[in-house]
Structure 1
């Protein structure tokens, strides 16, 4: 019997090394007890996963008697047919014994440190840390706004300041470029010297070299009207600029919204502003005159010509356009006209083989998620364009959300997000709550209009309920299992409580 139960538990991965978090497995004794913070009994069909319906589980979270934080859970699992009301009583008793053991092991110094930390949290909504040789406490706000690398540096500096007995203010340069002002206050509990233990208040201040929060300092423009210093972005810009200088016709590939047309306009503005820039959009090729116009431009225009979205043309249209390109080449038009065609990624452009013969080089622009460091320059650049006299800036917390998003719509999507923000906030500092729901998602695909509406409703409910998934599900009229599935499906970053 024991062997059969063990084989069954191994089969459903109820074993060390596997996660039974509720957002991964659905309702179950372990994950649901941890999520709800209270004793939980899950019987048979109450499990979300069908392969757990033969089991009954009773779980109780264990709260640390000093910090009050959940440090684990006790779970008892048996066959559904063997379940008994005493199951939950037994697991509660076990959890109480573990909690008492934790209390016995806790020292008076730790208790004093906890009390100082709680008092500090009540007095401020900013970043609060508390630490000694064995205990580390960090409030939710700190975990939310500080990158892991910044947390490590701050904790190291705080530990060093407390151990050396140097209270007072210290400025720390963090890896992300933000400067933090740190105030360390040692605790002096009963029987403690106070060295190496204390509470730390942290305030993020503007870094003189960082463009994140200072809209008055314009980012350096590599080309007119463009910003960005990421290696992949600059390489693409440099390749396009070199091909324009050489006069070689170019195919420029990249995801929608990556900035292909903006880059071509900037190169034209720098190197050939006196001549005309002609743009033909193949998205409008359904009209009967588009191909005629394209041939006329190829045979008579001078300066620079951009044929956008050539991958949207059908086979007949591609053949006609290829014939016009051949005619222009044979007429020596390459000497007076530079032509660039834009398209999606070339690995998807097999049907364009005939057309691409007239473009010796293809340059690929990276999607925004591959040079996300440029968001720190793009956001203030867009805000200066959209807000009156640059009176609107972006807070570090909001910037962290923006840089964490994957931006399936690329730079164009970021621009549209900034436009939405400016409609509701015209001055001051942008906070996370000012950002639209799409910024709380890290989905790497563009959603359909219906999916976007559903995602926005879920994000708004989570914001309204301060990250409480159970209350958010209830407000939306959906089950907890459904909201977990949707959170995973849309890759929603759950706001911290």
Structure 2
């Protein structure tokens, strides 16, 4: 029920911060009958900056609450549970039954109004008692939650919560949680300053020779010398952050990084000793990335099948391989709109000209009654060069697959999500198509976002996104804020490394093939459904992913 637009529970009007939270919960689509499956489980780092700073303070709080019927819960900046303590076994069982486990994601978007998710969303401390919880399963508890902010940046680092049964609330817990959070924030500050000193010393040591391109990244800090910035153009040093998860705790990480404009860099990285997430990156050399030239027209087979997902450039590839400046493109879909005999006559007339090249676009859409005509043309050595485009072989009907098998050559185009090394150059080329006189450059954060977007529409979707970018006032530099909102991704996915990106793309592809059925997708991937849920959350794959 509601009164004057204000959500209410029974006859009592909710307090303003609770009413706001209920509105958000409804917008998130949370149901009062909490589905435990909505609470995803992910991996947590017990040695994170937050846990390192909070551990001694939490140990003292545990001593104070030992023997009580309360619990202590700590969530990280993603509202994922990284610490749990229970003063009572019964309370522990109750909370675990509804999914309060290590690694649980307890945001408002998952479970509605609660003392971890609501402070995380509102950035304010909150008390939530009994019926003020949105989900029915939480109404038996009273909770006190307070956000933990980084003292320098103001960014949310986590949320601390004390929870007990609804009839055991204590007015002193609000001030207690506030004091404990203050102690944690002070240790976060001291830890950050110590880490910053280590990063700066590492940068000084690495740049002893000024000519060596060096960048040091950790937390929110980036140190880079001028030589490094020059090498990383048209991107910027923050692009290296996408490689951070792949740098081992010990040893050296060596890879190549495409920064756009055909520039590929050799990057060597190693961890900064004493830091949790800092690394030194050395740019060993820079060279133009080599691309294989398109097959020469003289070497093109007389019949070619070009397969790929929609939007991968099948027709463009067919035109390039036709061997003539202006090949004839005949759309198979036209046979669905016009009289079949008229289409058949036009096709027969075209392939009867041996010195021409005919692109039969989307052959998988051709009515089955017309497929024998295509088969005859493929078998006839006197007919025109024939280039067929189609969906991937596993999506063809048996009749189309039989025709496709008669082509002398098959070319398979990879989806854009599997061509991440080429993506920056493709995006720049598309922008230059719109404005040939411009030379746009992407920042590292923008490139990282483009790399982590799933691109369900492949090149068509990328071109639409670049068209939107081209309409903005031209500054020469394209940052994250200038990308269409759908392409910006989250901070977590933008920091994924190459191996994690590959895993994420495999999951997205499996979910797409199974039409969102997670059980079928898990079987396709050879993992359990529970593991799939965990990896989806860890890799930022959501139920509303554009590919689903």
Q: 1:209 to 1:163 in 2, by over 3 A?
A: closer
Is 1:279 matched up with 2:329? yes
For residues 183-234 of structure 1, give each alpha carbon's deviation from its aligned partner in whole angstroms, at most 9, with x where no partner exists.
9xxxxxxxxxxxxxxx976588754586659xxx9649xxxxxxx9699xx6
1:92 aligns with 2:145: no
Change (3 A) 1:376 1:38: same
CA contact (8 A) 2:161 2:177 kept: no
CA contact (8 A) 2:364 2:396 kept: yes
**How many angstroms apart in 2 are the aligned matches of 1:35 and 1:172?**
43
2:201 matched to which residue of 1? 159
**1:219, 1:69 → 2: CA distance?**
36
300 and 390 in structure 1: CA distance in 2 versus 1, 3 angstrom threshold: same
Is the Cα contact below 8 Å between 1:243 and 1:250 reproduced in 2? no
Q: Which of 112, 116, 121 does residue 30 from structure 1 map onto?
A: 116
- Residues 1:326 and 1:414: Cα distance change in structure 2 (over 3 Å): closer
Alpha-carbon RMSD across the aligned residues, in angstroms, is: 4.2
Kindly state the Cα deviation for residue 244 of structure 1 after the two structures are TM-superposed. 7.5
Aligned pairs (5 A) from 1:104-143: 134-136=194-196
Give the TM-score normalised by structure 2.
0.55
Give the match's secondary structure for 1:390: coil
Indicate yes or no: 2:430 matched with 1:378.
no
Count the aligned residue pairs: 358
Alpha-carbon offset, residue 45 of structure 1: 4.6
Q: The residue matched to 2:432 in structure 1 has which SS?
A: helix
Which whole-Å deviations, capped at 9, do the CAs of 1:289-319 have from their partners, x for residues lacking one?
Answer: 3232122212235332211111222xxx233
Q: Secondary structure at the match of 1:16?
A: coil
Q: Residue in 2 aligned with 1:224?
A: none
- 1:348 pairs with 2:395: yes
* Closer/same/farther in 2, CA of residues 83 and 293 from structure 1, 3 Å limit: farther
Cα–Cα, structure 1 residues 24 and 173, in superposed 2: closer, same or farther, change >3 Å? Answer: farther
Question: How far apart, in 2, do the equivalents of 1:165 and 1:400 lie?
Answer: 26
Please point out which of 299, 306, 315 is paired with 1:261.
315
The structure-2 alpha-carbon separation of the partners of 1:48 and 1:369, relative to structure 1 and needing over 3 Å to count, comes to farther
Shift of 1:94: 4.1
User: Structure 1 residues 91 and 436 mapped into 2: Cα distance closer, same or farther (>3 Å)?
Assistant: same
- For the 8 Å contact 2:306–2:410, the answer to whether it is kept is yes
SS of the equivalent of 1:252 reads: strand
Q: Partners of 1:263 and 1:329 in 2: how far apart?
A: 19
Q: Does 1:358 align with 2:378?
A: no
- CA distance in structure 2 between the aligned counterparts of 1:354 and 1:101, rounded to whole angstroms: 67
CA distance in 2, matches of 1:378, 1:405: 15
Distance between the aligned counterparts of 1:366 and 1:68, measured in 2?
A: 43
CA separation in 1, counterparts of 2:479 and 2:184? 43
Aligned to 2:6: none
Match of 1:126 in 2: none
SS in 2 for 1:29: coil
Secondary structure, aligned partner of 1:15: coil
Gaps of 5+ in 1: 115-130, 138-154, 175-179, 184-198, 221-227, 446-486, 493-497
Query: Corresponding residue for 2:347?
Result: 294
Matched with 1:146 is none
Residue number in structure 2 paired with 1:399? 447
Asked whether the equivalents of residues 34 and 70 of structure 1 are also in contact (C-alpha less than 8 Å), the reply is yes
Q: 1:49 to 1:374 in 2, by over 3 A?
A: farther
Matches within 5 A, 1:68-467: 70-80=156-166, 82-84=167-169, 86-87=170-171, 89-97=172-180, 99-100=182-183, 103=186, 134-136=194-196, 158-162=200-204, 173=213, 202=224, 207-208=230-231, 219=262, 241=295, 245=299, 247-268=301-322, 272-273=323-324, 277-285=327-335, 286-288=337-339, 289-313=342-366, 317-320=367-370, 322-329=371-378, 331-333=380-382, 337-351=384-398, 352-426=400-474, 428-441=476-489
Asked if 2 retains the 8 angstrom alpha-carbon contact of 1:394 and 1:429, the reply is yes
State whether residues 133 and 139 of structure 2, in contact with CA within 8 Å, keep that contact through their aligned partners in structure 1.
yes
Query: For residues 410 and 207 of structure 1, do their structure 2 counterparts lie closer, same or farther at Cα, with a shift above 3 Å needed?
Result: farther
State the TM-score, normalized to the length of structure 1.
0.60
Report the 3-state secondary structure (helix = DSSP H, G, I; strand = E; otherwise coil) of the residue aligned with 1:406. coil
Q: Judging by fraction of residues, say which structure has more helix.
A: 1
Cα distance in 2 for partners of 1:266, 1:370 equals: 21
Q: SS of the counterpart of 1:389?
A: coil
